[in-house]
Amino acid sequence: MAISINTSPLRGPVCYHPFRLQPGILYLLGDDRRLLCATFATEREEREILLRYRERVSGGIAPALAFLESYFSKKSSKAPELDLSAYTEGEVRIYHELQKVPFGRTVTYGGLAERAGVKNGARFAGNTMAKNSFPIFIPCHRVIKSGGIIGNYTGGVHIKEFLLRHEGALK
């Protein structure tokens, strides 16, 4: 699977920066103006990133790094503004509602859909989480199945568990 980034319109070259976590690497890709995506890359995607882009902290990556450093220091910080123009109106509503879920708290897929005004939308919320190009910034790790079951995560369940433990939502 190729890395999917919103490339229109770009401001300067696309660069990457690896943000190392205990369970894996979150690759941040950005241009001079904005963060284009963040991904826990597969080996194939990692090769694509390393071959295709230059490692540099661009203007779009710098605010994302500052947010991550605050997040992992358990300091309150607002996520950088994200370009969500590639998503549908319903997906954007889901993402905006999810960003309101506080650090250390979780919400079910159905509960998130209800908050966003999507009736019987647990599946829609789940599919929207799978499309999230900004994990941690749009905290899809905070969305769980009903009954307290962790559920899936783009970077792998081990990363979701790591993030929930970091936030104190999982013992």
45: which residues sit within 8 A by CB, 6+ positions away?
1, 2, 3, 27, 39
Our CA angle for 68, 38, 36, nearest 5°, is 110
Per annotation, catalytic residue among 3, 140, 143, 164 = 140
Which residue in 34, 35, 50, 41 sits closest to 3, CA to CA? 41
40: which residues sit within 8 A by CB, 6+ positions away?
24, 25, 26, 27, 135, 154, 155, 156, 159
37 is catalytic: no
Q: DSSP letter for 119, please.
A: T
The reply to whether omega before 9 is within 30° of 0 (cis) is: yes
SS3 58: coil
Residues that are catalytic: 140
